[in-house]
Each structure stands twice: as structure tokens, then as C-alpha cells.
Amino acid sequence: MTHNVFAAIQTNLKHHAERTLLTIPNGRQLTGSDLDRESAILAGALMELGLEAGDRVSAQIEKGWMNVVLYLAVLRSGAVYLPLNSAYTNSEIEYFVTDAESKLHICSSDRAEHVESLRSQIPELQVLTLDDESGTLIDLFDAAKTSGHMSDEVVSRAAHDLASIIYTSGTTGKPKGAMITHSNLAANANMLTEAWAYSSDDVLLHALPLFHVHGLFVALNLALMNGGPMIMLPKFDPDLVLSVMPSATVMMGVPTFYTRLLADSRFDRQSSGHMRLFISGSAPLLVETSDDFFDRTGQRILERYGMTETGMSCSNPLHGDRRAGSVGPPLPGVDVRIIGEDGDELPRGEIGALEVKGEHVFKGYWKLPEKTASEFKGDWFITGDMATLSEDGYVSIVGRDKDLIISGGLNIYPKEIEDVLNDQGGVVESAVVGVPHPDFGEGIVAVLVGEQELDMAALESACREKLAGFKVPRRWVQLQALPRNTMGKVQKNLLRDDYANSFS
């Protein structure tokens, strides 16, 4: 019996052979049979190039139907898929390709020459190009289709064989390659199917990128593993989203998607009323956004929690109390615990380090056995997030451990301050960071975005009313926007760098 996750996907492709499962607005429509056949053709072509089970295939390409077919072809051939952000520079790509020792790299034609120069470091590296519907990958695919050469084989894989390597964002040091196994992907899809009652009746509105866990393993995999149709957009565009939303039942997005929808007067109860589920992740959802969305639509966004290394671990319930500011209880098959500085498990309600355990947890970091060992306590993975666990089992994330501020020997969690600031009139959002301070070790800097020029004295006064004095920011900054990565997470490391000399 193979544990190749593609075998489970293929079962649903065959079961829904004549049904359109992938729709690109104003573009291709592919049935279950199309996806199965075309991934078989491409898998055969890749094997003809010498691709073997366990080889790494890196891809820096734009989102589209061929991106999906490539992903499926790599899985069914037993190779390891390495998706890369299309915004990465050539020097960043050089690091990823050489670190992963890619056997095949697929990119746009304007990047091919640089990647080909890496052959001196990776002698077996091959490079194919993909530019929309042209390039050597398309030529290879078309030639294989014309010749009738294809591989119906689904290469057998063990449960803990690698399916993918996803590099973490690398806010400290070099990015690390998280090794995701076939059993990780299957376990996460199964637990989300149960938790969200996802089925072939659902139609997914897919506007996320395909180089990230959220868009690739949560959204795409969940639909494929259930044989549910997808409407795939190249990116989030409010006009396009609103035009296709009447045909969808589920949307997954980052908080920015929902703030942009709320800014559009066309988005209301009528335009969203047929939707079964709105899901948010990849970055914290502001309570204000959650409440505004509920007021506008009558639906509460379902917020969940996950990481590159774990896929999804927690989710607010499909039926029951979806609590704004919480990521909900652990998913089926997931265990969580909150650990104090002494290494002991903390009582409910206290802030500590979040650790998780389950079949969804990754295998470790690529070529970094010491780092892998340091991030695990037996089967428990140390997430790096600080959190609390309520009496009834809801997890609330208060920040990353590296974001913890220690000022005058006292621990300060930025989210506590940010929650106060975000409740103040005129404040759109805030980010609180700690930077070097000559007396206190770290001083607190509040960086804010406002609807107009903010009254910093009034904000400081509000903080003093609600927080202990040592938690009140000592410097206040207003920006037009907070720096974010491609998935909408605020890049606090950049803010710490920008304001490092605030107290010197």
C-alpha cells in the first residue's frame, strides 16, 4: 500500500472524472479526468528527464492551471515539491536551490540564465521555463501529450517520505527548509475535512498564492482531497472576487482580504449570504475586523492557527462559539500544551510557550539535525508562539517568543498593548516592538496606522488607564502602512531594525 498523498487525491479525481474541478476565470477549465491525465503526462515527461523519487523540484512560477498540474505531477512521481515565492530575488533563489540541491528548477525565462549558472554547484541541475502558457515546460508537456507518453504510475512512498520542502521566512538567520511528509499532508487534510465539514459539495474561492502552506496545502489540498471544485484567481482582486463569489461556498484568506472586502460597499449580506464559510489565517485577525465583518454580513469569520512546520493545529469551531481574538481549540488528532519558563505545563489561563503534537507535525529541518533536535521535546514541537489556553480549551496567541519584550526585568507581551491601541478611535492597526534601551534593556516602541493624524498623548493616556506603567510605550510612531510579508504578517523584525536607535 502506498502512502503517496497523490493516491488519495487521484481517488477523488477519478470519482469526479467528468466534473469541472478547476476553473480559471477567462481561462482553462479542467475536470477530474483532465487533472489526472495531464498530471500523468507531465509526470512521465519529468521521469524521462531522469527525475526520481526523492529528487527535489523547485518552482518559482506564477499561479495558474499549469502550477496545479506541476504540483500533482511531482507528487505522483514521488519527487519532492519546493514552491518558491515569485517575488524572491535571484540571490534568494540561489540559496534555496543550492541548499535543497534541486534536480529540476522551473522558473520564468528571464530568470533561467541565472539559475543555470548554479550548475557548477549542482551538476545535476536542470532548468525549465514557464511563462504563462509558453516555455520549455509547456513544450515538454505538449511533446509528451502528442507522443502519448504518460505515466499512469503513482510512485509508492512511505508515510514519512518527503512530499515537500517549504522554507520558512527566515526573519532571524537563513531560512530553514521544513520537511513535509506525505502523512503530514494527508493528516492535515483529514482533520480539516472533519472540523470544517468540507465535502465535494463545496466550491472553493481560491485567491491565495500557491507557494505557501495556506494556499497550497490548506486550500488546494483540501479541495482536491474531497473532490470539490475550485475557482482559482491569480491573486486577490475585490472586483474579481465579488464577481465569482456567487458561485462559491467557501473562501480562505488572510486578514487583508477581509478588510479590503469590508472597504467595498458592494460586499454585504446579499452578496455573501450564500457563502457557507469564510476562513482566515496566516496572520492575526483583529477583533475589530471580525466584529465589523459580523455586523456587515451576519457571519463570523472562522479564524484558525497553523505554521509552515505543522500545517493547521487549531481552529474555531464550525458550529459553536467562534471567539474573536482566539484561534479556537486544537483540531481533531492534535494535542496542545502551554509551558512555562521552568519547563512545566502551566495552569489554564496563564501565558507560556505553545507546544503541539500530532501526525500533522513536520519531519524536521532539511540538513539541520541539531536545529531539529532543539525544536522538539520528544514528540512535542516547540512552536515559538506564546499563548494561553482557556478553561474550555480555546487557544489564544499573544505573540512570538522572539517578540517578547523584557524591560527592566519584566516580561511584556506586545499583543496586550496592541489590543488596547487597536480599540482606540482612529487607530487602524498597531505593532509594538522592543528595541535596545540603556537603562531598561529594552524600551517599548508603538508603531501605528491611523485614519488621520493620531493624538499620541491621548493614546498614551488610554494605555496608562488600562495597563501597568511599565507596559506603556516610550516612543510613538505613525506610518502610512505597516511592513508585511506576502502572506500579510507584520514584519516586526524590520520595525525593530528601523527604530533600533530610538533610545540611544
Give the residue carrying C-alpha cell 533600533: 500
398: confidence class by pLDDT, cuts 50, 70, 90: confident
Give the residue carrying C-alpha cell 500545517: 311
d(CA 165, CA 181): 9
217 CB contacts (<8 Å, ≥6 apart)? 164, 180, 185, 188, 189, 311
Query: Does the pLDDT of residue 284 top 90, yes or no?
Result: no
Among 222-231, 276-285, 376-385, name the one with the lowest average pLDDT: 276-285
Amino acid identity for residue 140 in this structure: L
- Say how many Å lie between the first and final Cα of the chain, rounded: 63
373 CB contacts (<8 Å, ≥6 apart)? none
Beta bridge partners of 337: 355
Domains in the chain, please, with CATH?
A: 27-191 (3.40.50.12780), 236-400 (3.40.50.12780), 404-498 (3.30.300.30)
Among 44-58, 294-308, 483-497, name the one with the lowest average pLDDT: 483-497
> How wide is the angle at C-alpha 497 spanned by C-alphas 494 and 503, nearest 5°?
135
What is the total residue count of the chain?
A: 504
203 CB contacts (<8 Å, ≥6 apart)? 228, 229, 230, 231, 247, 248, 249, 250
Grid cell locating 69: 498540474
Among candidates 313, 448, 477, 319, which has minimal Cα distance to 385?
313
277 CB contacts (<8 Å, ≥6 apart)? 196, 249, 250, 251, 302, 318
Instruction: Using only the alpha carbons of the chain, give its radius of gyration.
Output: 23
What are φ and ψ of residue 150, in 5° steps?
A: -155, 165
Specify the pTM: 0.87
Among candidates 110, 77, 84, which has minimal Cα distance to 99?
84
pLDDT tens-place string over residues 294-307: 999 999 999 999 99
Q: What is the mean pLDDT of residues 224-248?
A: 97
Query: Does the pLDDT of residue 171 top 50, yes or no?
Result: no
Grid cell locating 193: 475535512
d(CA 375, CA 384): 9
Cβ(22)–Cβ(37) below 8 Å: no
Check residues 147 and 270 and name the one with the higher pLDDT: 270
118 CB contacts (<8 Å, ≥6 apart)? 94, 97, 98, 125
Percent of the chain with pLDDT over 70: 99
343: confidence class by pLDDT, cuts 50, 70, 90: very high
Among 99-113, 140-154, 250-264, 366-380, name the one with the lowest average pLDDT: 140-154
Q: What is the mean pLDDT of residues 211-236?
A: 96
Query: Does the pLDDT of residue 288 top 90, yes or no?
Result: no
d(CA 132, CA 135): 8
Grid cell locating 225: 482531497
Give the residue carrying C-alpha cell 465535494: 200
Give the residue carrying C-alpha cell 489554564: 348
pLDDT tens-place string over residues 5-36: 999 999 999 999 999 999 999 999 999 999 99
pLDDT tens-place string over residues 115-137: 989 988 899 999 999 998 899 99
Question: What's the confidence (pLDDT) of residue 149?
Answer: 72
Grid cell locating 159: 508515510
d(CA 92, CA 353): 31
Tell me how crowded residue 402 is: count the other CB atoms within 10 A of its CB: 12
d(CA 315, CA 278): 12
